[in-house]
Amino acid sequence: MDALGNVRSLRPIVRDIDTDVLSPEGLRFLSALDSSKLPLVNQPGRLGSPLASVREIIAIGLNYREHARESGLAIPVEPVVFAKSTSSISGPNDDIVLPAGSEKTDWEIELGIVIGSVTKRVDKEKARASIAGYCLVNDVSERAWQIERAGQWGKGKSFDTFTPIGPWLVTGDEVDPNALDLSLKVNGQIRQHGNTSDLIFDVDTIVSYVSQFMTLMPGDLIITGTPAGVGLGMKPPQFLAAGDVVDMSVTGLGTQRHLVVSSD
């Protein structure tokens, strides 16, 4: 998108937003381009994920103070880390498909961190240099599979369409990741409204922490937790049903809209 809000195509310059583009060298190359000279996309069709070939989705749980409180759980002393399958990735306006028999599919708006360079055992003070940018993510969660089926949370979070990403990647110099408003509505009703200032572990801490026990690679996606207001935390709990519409936005990172559909 250019300075006037026009959607421009990078296709004449790059094949996709891949590891080469996300590298420090690739981002410097893109920043030097005159976006007004790129071809206009006059009538965008379906928008896919802005990231190509994501190798890993690393998720941080219970990372907002208010969300931990609504869950009735103690504030973590270290980040809670789990994984999602990359097969769950979808576009920012794609349908959310309810798993067969699901009655407890929930919403979770999150800030996504996109890694831009090989990162291993990085100090917190140097972690920001490893980040290519940020994106809006919905960590859709089937709570019965997550909580009642025993084992890791990833079982409830890896169904197809359960990780919508986008609409775009915003480079790290354009936003302050520790001061972003997040908002999610279901059928026009506000369910989540928070700010990344409520994060228990901030962006730099997360990248540093994860890099202590695994090597992060360009294109890896870290999702940073969700603010209060999930369906599981409501009294009584409320979950998504076919026909529901989910709208999400994060400051500077754009919006998503999803129709919830049945898989049956």
Amino acid at 193: H
**Residue 9, pLDDT score:** 77
* Tally of CB atoms within 10 A around 34: 7
According to DSSP, residue 26 is labeled H
Specify burial of residue 205 (Cβ count, 10 A radius: 0-12, 13-18, 19+): middle
Q: How do residues 200-217 score in pLDDT, each as one tens digit?
A: 999 999 999 999 999 999
Same domain, residue pair 145 and 166 = yes
**Residue 43, pLDDT score:** 65
Same domain, residue pair 35 and 111 = no
Query: For the ranges 32-36, 53-57, 179-183, 205-209, which has the lowest average pLDDT?
Result: 32-36
Same domain, residue pair 71 and 24 = no
| Cα distance between residue 77 and residue 93, in whole Å | 35
Q: How confident is the model at residue 44 (pLDDT cuts 50, 70, 90)?
A: low
pLDDT at 45 over 90: no
Beta pairing, strands 89-90 & 163-164: parallel
**Residue 69, pLDDT score:** 85
Same domain, residue pair 5 and 121 = no
**Residue 92, pLDDT score:** 97
pLDDT at 222 over 80: yes
How does the average pLDDT of the chain come out, rounded?
92
pLDDT at 264 over 80: no
Same domain, residue pair 65 and 8 = no
Same domain, residue pair 17 and 118 = no
- Tell me which residue range forms the domain holding 59: 48-262
Same domain, residue pair 106 and 181 = yes
Same domain, residue pair 107 and 226 = yes
- C-alpha angle 84/88/92, rounded to 5°? 115
Q: How do residues 49-106 score in pLDDT, each as one tens digit?
A: 999 889 999 999 999 998 888 888 889 999 999 999 999 999 999 999 999 999 999 9
Same domain, residue pair 17 and 96 = no
Query: In the chain, what percentage of residues exceed pLDDT 70?
Result: 98
Mean pLDDT of 218-235: 95
| Cα distance between residue 238 and residue 115, in whole Å | 34
**b/e sequence 152-173, b meaning 16+ C-beta within 10 Å:** ebbbbbbbebbbbbbbbbbbbe
**Residue 226, pLDDT score:** 96
Strand residue runs (E) in 147-211: 163-164, 170-171, 181-186, 189-195
| Cα distance between residue 93 and residue 167, in whole Å | 8
Same domain, residue pair 8 and 113 = no
Domain count for the chain, please give it: 2
Rg (CA), the chain: 18
Same domain, residue pair 196 and 94 = yes
* CATH code, 151: 3.90.850.10
Same domain, residue pair 22 and 98 = no
**Residue 194, pLDDT score:** 96
Q: What SS3 class is residue 29?
A: helix
